[in-house]
C-alpha cells in the first residue's frame, strides 16, 4: 500500500480543498473549506454556474452565503462524511452574530436537501467562538473550532462540547522558523507537530471526546509525524505525495485511557493564556485577518461580475 492508503487505516483523511477533481481522485472521508479555499474554488471552471447563480441574487452578502453553501453541497455528493463550512471571519468576536450566521447557513443547506448531520460549522477559536459553539452544539449543530494554536484554545473548545478542533501545524512551524531563524525542523522536533501531539495526548488523557484534526500542513513529513491522529485535513498536493510514496508508515499517535480531569477554563484564563503566548496570539489574529481578506476578494469578484 502507498502511504495514503496506510494513513487511511489509522486516521480519517480529510481533503483540505474545494477542488472536485482532487476529491474524486483521493476519495477522502470528509472535506474542509474556508474563505481562502472558497475563493480559489470560485475560479475553477466546474463552479462557473454556481457563480452565475450567486450573482443573480443581486446582493453580495447573500451571494457569498449562497455560493459557499452551493459549493459545500457539491462536496457532500463526493464525500460520505462531513463538509466544514466557515462563518464570516468578521464575526469572530461576536458570539450572537456567529450563532445567527451558523443557523442561516444550516437553513440554506436544508434548502439544498443537505441535513445538518453532514455539515460542520467552522468558527475561529476566540472566546466568543467557543461560546457560539456551546450554543450551537446544544441545538444539534456540530462545530469545527479552527485556528487553534494553543492547548488552552483546544481545552476551551472541548469543554464547550465542540465536535472537532483544527490545530494548525504549518502556521505554528512558520512562526518558529521566523522567530528562531531555524531553517527546518526534523518531524519529531517540529513545533507544529509537537503542539498537535500534545493536544491529542491531553484530550485522550482527560477523556475529552472532541475530535482532534491536524490541519495546515507544509510537508508530507508533518502528516506522517501525526499518523494516528483522529483526523488530518490535507491539501491535494500533499495527498498526491503520500499516494506516490510506498515507504512504510508508522503510527505516531495511539489513544490512551482517560486518567485525569481538570477544572473548567474561565474566560480570564483563556484570554491570559493567549496574551502570554505570542505565537498563538499573533497567528490567531493573522488567520482571522487572512480569511477576512479573502472574503473581501470574493466580494469584489462578485461585484465586478454582477
| Residues annotated as part of the active site | 122
Angle between helices 267-275 and 127-138 (to 10 degrees): 140
DSSP bridge partners of 167: 148
- State the residue for C-alpha cell 513529513: 221
What is residue 229's three-state secondary structure? Answer: coil
HSE, CB side, 13 Å, CA atoms: give it for residue 40: 12
Give the C-alpha separation, 244 to 72, whole Å.
28
What is residue 70's three-state secondary structure? Answer: helix
Pairing status of strand 143-148 against strand 119-124: parallel
What is residue 160's three-state secondary structure? Answer: coil
Q: Are 225 and 193 in contact (CB under 8 A)?
A: yes
DSSP class of 215: B
Classify residue 100 as exposed, middle or buried by CB count within 10 Å of its CB (0-12, 13-18, 19+): middle
Q: Are 266 and 24 in contact (CB under 8 A)?
A: no
φ, ψ of residue 214 to 5 degrees: the values are -60, 140
Going from the C-alpha of 118 to that of each of 37, 129, 209, 291, the distances in angstroms are 19, 21, 19, 23
Q: Are 171 and 196 in contact (CB under 8 A)?
A: no
Amino acid at each position: 500500500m502507498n502511504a495514503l492508503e496506510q494513513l487511511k487505516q489509522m486516521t480519517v483523511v480529510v481533503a483540505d480543498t474545494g477542488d472536485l477533481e482532487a476529491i474524486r481522485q483521493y476519495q477522502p472521508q470528509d472535506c474542509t473549506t474556508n474563505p481562502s479555499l472558497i475563493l480559489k474554488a470560485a475560479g475553477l471552471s466546474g463552479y462557473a454556474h454556481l457563480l452565475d447563480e450567486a450573482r443573480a441574487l443581486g446582493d453580495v452578502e447573500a451571494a457569498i452565503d449562497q455560493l459557499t453553501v452551493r459549493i459545500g453541497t457539491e462536496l457532500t455528493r463526493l464525500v460520505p462524511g462531513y463538509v466544514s463550512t466557515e462563518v464570516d471571519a468578521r464575526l469572530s468576536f461576536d458570539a450572537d452574530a456567529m450563532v445567527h450566521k451558523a443557523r442561516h447557513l444550516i437553513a440554506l443547506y436544508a434548502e439544498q436537501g443537505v441535513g445538518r448531520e453532514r455539515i460542520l460549522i467552522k468558527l475561529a477559536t476566540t472566546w466568543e467562538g467557543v461560546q457560539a459553539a456551546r450554543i450551537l452544539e446544544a441545538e444539534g449543530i456540530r462545530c469545527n473550532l479552527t485556528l487553534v494554536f494553543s492547548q488552552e484554545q483546544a481545552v476551551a473548545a472541548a469543554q464547550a462540547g465542540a465536535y472537532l478542533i483544527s490545530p494548525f501545524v504549518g502556521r505554528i512551524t512558520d512562526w518558529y522558523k521566523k522567530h528562531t531563524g531555524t531553517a527546518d525542523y526534523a518531524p519529531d522536533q517540529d513545533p507544529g507537530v509537537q503542539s498537535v501531539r500534545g493536544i491529542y495526548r491531553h484530550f485522550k488523557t482527560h477523556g475529552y471526546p472532541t475530535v482532534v484534526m491536524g490541519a495546515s500542513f507544509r510537508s508530507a513529513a508533518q502528516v506522517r509525524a501525526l499518523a494516528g491522529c483522529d483526523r488530518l485535513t490535507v491539501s491535494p498536493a500533499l495527498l498526491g505525495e503520500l499516494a506516490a510514496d510506498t515507504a512504510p508508515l508508522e503510527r505516531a499517535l495511539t489513544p490512551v485511557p482517560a486518567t485525569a480531569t481538570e477544572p473548567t477554563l474561565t474566560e480570564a484564563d483563556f484570554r491570559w493564556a493567549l496574551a502570554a503566548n505570542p505565537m498563538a496570539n499573533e497567528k490567531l489574529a493573522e488567520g482571522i485577518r487572512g480569511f477576512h481578506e479573502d472574503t473581501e476578494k470574493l466580494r469584489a469578484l462578485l461585484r465586478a461580475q454582477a
